[in-house]
Structure 1
């Protein structure tokens, strides 16, 4: 199953979730109506009970969904997560951030916000958010302390599969919907607690009503656990498989699962209430639910899928060994030679020349979308290490992210750059404009095309921490820079648009969360405009080659249509109108569009490094993230 099939499955899962929720609501309402009718014998009272029950469930769900509008960071904070700063010097936190940054760059997505559940000794983790722009990954202190680097990488790769496959969006909606059907039980519990404190005879009817609410509410608890179990179990198997495909080794993920089974703390979370609410999101079981209600497959079965010869008796041996001397992840890194990855000697291998030609095919590239492999991870590590140390530090500094990103978009033409300076100063101040020029002159001139997106990815977590007014001014400045004149390159335009899209989605993630449903024929002109712009960018000064590239792309996406090649008169500004309708396409249509884009970039099946980065940026705008390597055999 590729990315587009995963997305289609997630959309179907979202529809099934609504149906299951509706079935649970009907069951609860019928139970309340039956109790009301038996106790009162009044049809009017029964009708009133129906509306009251629906109101309680609906308002409960709306309240919980509203409380999660802020996205992944809100969920992590509500779980008691402590934010991990970008410039941390703590060895275990630095190792975590290195692993997450490399996996994010390898996957082609912004680096997510990181949190640690400091008071949790069990080994666990979760990913939360509506999409890649607001994603957050949280790990327990137990995972940081007990897992070595390979094991931590396996766990993080598992969570990234949830980020890439649309599981996070489904999971966060599940929290909101299930809260509503649990409302009656929660209300009953609260009334019983406070009613006992009062000990008044007048409170007896209220206590009876609370007891009835808890009994009826148990229907909601039953349905809630069943829904979570049904949604979660199979997705955990898929996430394990994706993590192995990414890391190309089973020992890391299997080792993490063995430590869950071999340590007394396991994967349990101490806060049982929160643990059950987010149990379907966790790497390992956070609460003791089994049988039909188990949100995760059996631990031994998960390990055996990674290591077919594994014997359950080995867990008993590990339990005996680790009871006396629990594992130390950082010490294991040193013993196994894994620490060298975070302090690579000799530097990374050189990046390919900017004019290198890569051999690709459209189906190959479409198959790589959101499906990173081991060589992508190594390439991402090389890209991060290939960035000058001072640029890496600047990307992680709160005060340097904005001028750094603005500096990347400054035009090489001094006259255009002067107009851009004026636009930046008018919106963000003269000091920030000067910093952008200084960074451009000191660090960004001649930056390799392959390093621009990784640098932006590293800077994004710091950027989204800025106050909203500053971000609004920053986005206005980017828009003004791009349109300072009509001679903006397609890549500069796409990079600026990508920054705007990611920031806006991070500011209001729930508003932008959706699964595409549109069909390809409804956006013919948008297809033609995008393919014409990309074809022209891939063949500058060669109108005949650009026309052939355009027709090759059009033949793949709209084989029966005859739309003539017409480079947009407005240049790249014409692309402003295409992103929203194209992003709303159903997953299968997006897959064909990605293949068409590859044809348009180079109809001879070869693309330069700069063209590959253009393709990666356009795909990111369409929420089809491409991994770090296109030149895969």
Structure 2
């Protein structure tokens, strides 16, 4: 199942959730009406009066459920994944933590995020949970958070931790997180009646108080009974929605990591250790459907996860369940230590070699969307190692991340750079402008291929800055890169991605209204995009025209659209995003296929082309892993000299 098929499956699951919620509400309303009919002996009243009472009871029930669900969903959406993590006792992972377990976790998460083409999520650890578990929460990838238990950090090896994190990333990539948040909101609404009933029931105070509240006792009891029937229905809904998605997430994790031993090993440790995957927090029930493993024992009817043995056997067909008894006995005498296992394998110091240049066929690029290829993790690790450690440290800290981002966009031309500094001073203040100037000097020699990964690395720290400051930074980005009337590919990619990611982190939607459309309706936008990309990647106009026609033939065969690169590329692209983002999944796959055909028509994938391809995919919400390019490892030329793989008169490279 590829990315677009998984997206379709998530939409189907969302539709099932709506129907199940509607069915649950109907059942609860019927139960309430029956209790009201029996409790108030409505058969003794006139028909019109009885019907009116039942209608009022039903409407009040729907209002309680609907309002509770809406308010809960709204609060979860506004708080992002971090709010869910902190509500369970999660503690943010400091970017400069000395704890080797936490550094290993951070490295694994960053590698998987960059390898999968997603923003790096916020990281949390549940320090008081000895069980092995994890979850991903958030409304969009821009506000996502991943939390792991202390037990997972202590007991899992690096490969096993990578398998668990890859499992959670599949929920981020495939859109399961939003479904999980909706499910939390829906179930809160169903439980709302039970909470209301418990509030209305008299508590203590003797007969006098109970007597004074007598008229409320019957409605309260009805609400409690209906609410706890809702609990049963809610658990059935969670089980029905969640189980199959866990199988898909396991399969996606294997596709992500290209190995089954890590994920299977983590599941074996859950099955063989006495703490298992249990959570002690009282709110475990709220998030049981989004966890890596079951938070507590449930009957098979209410279980939100498939049986552990079944999950292990799908990953390791030769697994014999009797092995768990041997593992349990061994671990009872000496509990496993993930760090010790890594040291025994030499993984604490091992480093994969940086990848070399490769070609990127169109079908391989489309297949890798939401599904990193075999070398993606090694490639991501190589990219991270190309970034100096002091630069990584500043990008991870909230107090220094903004100058790092702005420093990437400062020109090497003295006059232009002075104008940029004056603009930053006027808009953001002299101290920040000076810090950005210093970062510009420090980042001048950075490898061109790691600039966008550096911004992904910086995103968690960027989200910690005050919202007002982020709005000011987003507002100044366009002016900063257009100050001389010219914009190069990297400047456009960085500014466009930052504006989009900041909008989704703050408002949970892109900075444009998405318009549902088709490829035929979007033909002008498709042609403008292909013309820009063809001009970026081909110096020879004839070669650019040939690449344009080759890509267009894949997407819009027979369309009589001439090759006409727009005069202002960034304006054409800005106008195209709302249209292209509104394409259905299969059309987006075809768009990426055609775009890759344009780029690889000359058999070369340059740094600028790779940055632009990843930006286009990100803007239309198709996460693309980083691609090895011919520019990897080449030093960044001074601004004012053209990089050999970044030639474009369309963008006006300086």
TM-score grouping bracket, smaller chain normalisation: over 0.9
Q: How far apart, in 1, do the equivalents of 2:629 and 2:355 lie?
A: 13
Q: Name which of structure 1's ranges 568-577 and 250-259 shifts more when overlaid on structure 2.
A: 568-577
Q: Check conservation: 2:117, 2:625, Cα contact below 8 A.
A: yes
Q: CA deviation at 1:163?
A: 0.8
Equivalent residue, structure 2, for 1:335: 344
Relative contact order: is structure 1 or structure 2 higher (C-alpha 8 Å, sep ≥ 6)?
1
Structure 1's 455 and 205: CA in aligned 2 closer, same or farther, altered over 3 A? same
What is the aligned partner in structure 1 of residue 46 from structure 2?
Answer: none
TM-score, scaled relative to structure 2: 0.90
After superposition, the Cα gap between the structure-2 partners of 1:527 and 1:43, relative to the gap in structure 1 and judged at 3 Å, is same
Of 179, 189, 192 in structure 1, the residue corresponding to residue 188 of structure 2 is 179
Contact kept, 8 Å, 1:538 with 1:601, in 2: the verdict is yes
- Equivalences for 1:116-195 in 2 at 5 Å? 116-192=125-201, 195=203
Aligned to 1:71, the other structure's residue is in SS state: helix
2:74 corresponds to which residue?
Answer: 66
The whole-number CA distance in structure 1 between the counterparts of 2:220 and 2:179 is 32
2:227 is matched with which residue: 193, 203, 217?
217
- 2:273 corresponds to 1:263: yes
Query: 1:434-490: CA deviations, max 9, x gaps?
Result: 222222222x22322211111111111111100011111111221211221331113
Counterpart for residue 54 of structure 2: 46
- Between the aligned partners of 2:434 and 2:20, the Cα distance in structure 1 is 57
Distance 1:519 1:21, change over 3 A: farther
**Matching residue of 2:533:** 534
Tell me, in whole angstroms, the C-alpha distance in 2 between the residues paired with 1:240 and 1:513.
Answer: 34
TM-score (norm 1): 0.93
Matches of 2:10 and 2:114 in 1, distance apart? Answer: 23
Is 1:298 the counterpart of 2:297? The answer is: no
**Is the 2:527–2:552 Cα contact (8 Å) retained in structure 1?**
yes
**3-state SS in 2 of match to 1:115:** strand
The residue aligned with 1:390 is 390
How many pairs does the alignment contain? 619
CA contact (8 A) 1:599 1:605 kept: no
Which residue of structure 2 lines up, in the alignment, with residue 614 of structure 1?
A: 612
**SS, match of residue 624 in structure 2:** coil
Structure 2 CA distance, aligned partners of 1:245 and 1:571?
Answer: 36
Deviation sequence 1:229-261 (CA, Å, 0-9, x none): 111111111111121222222221111111111
Which residue pairs with 2:561 in the alignment?
A: 563
CA RMSD of aligned residues (A): 2.2
1:41-96 CA deviation, whole Å, 9 max, x = no partner?
Answer: 12111111011011101110111011112221111112221111112111111111
Contact kept? 2:277, 2:293, Cα under 8 Å: yes
Q: 1:513 to 1:390 in 2, by over 3 A?
A: same
Partners of 1:189 and 1:515 lie apart in 2 by 43
What displacement does 1:287 show?
A: 2.5
In the aligned structure 2, how far is the partner of 1:26 from the partner of 1:270?
34
Report the Cα offset of residue 300 of structure 1: 0.7
| Most deviating of 201-210 and 32-41 | 201-210
Q: Is the 8 A contact 1:151 1:253 kept in 2?
A: yes
How far is 1:122 from its partner?
Answer: 1.0
Between 232-241 and 566-575, report the one with greater CA deviation: 566-575
Q: Tell me the CA shift for residue 426 of structure 1.
A: 1.4
Matching of residues 388-427 of structure 1 within 5 Å: 388-427=388-427
C-alpha displacement at 1:198, in angstroms?
Answer: 6.0
Residue matched to 1:461: 460
Q: CA deviation at 1:196?
A: 4.4
**Which residue of structure 1 lines up, in the alignment, with residue 101 of structure 2?**
92
> In the alignment, which residue of structure 1 is the partner of 2:289?
280
CA–CA distance in structure 1, aligned partners of residues 204 and 217 of structure 2: 8
Alignment partner of 2:143: what SS? coil
Aligned equivalents of 1:448, 1:191: Cα separation in 2: 65
Conserved in 1, the CA contact under 8 Å of 2:135 and 2:168? yes
Structure-2 change in CA distance of 1:125 and 1:331 (3 Å): same
Q: Are residues 1:234 and 2:232 paired?
A: no
Structure 1 position 350, deviation (Å)? 5.2
The residue that corresponds to 1:594 in the other structure is 592
Q: 2:246, 2:7 → 1: CA distance?
A: 16
The answer to whether 1:552 aligns with 2:550 is yes
Cross-structure match for 1:289? 298
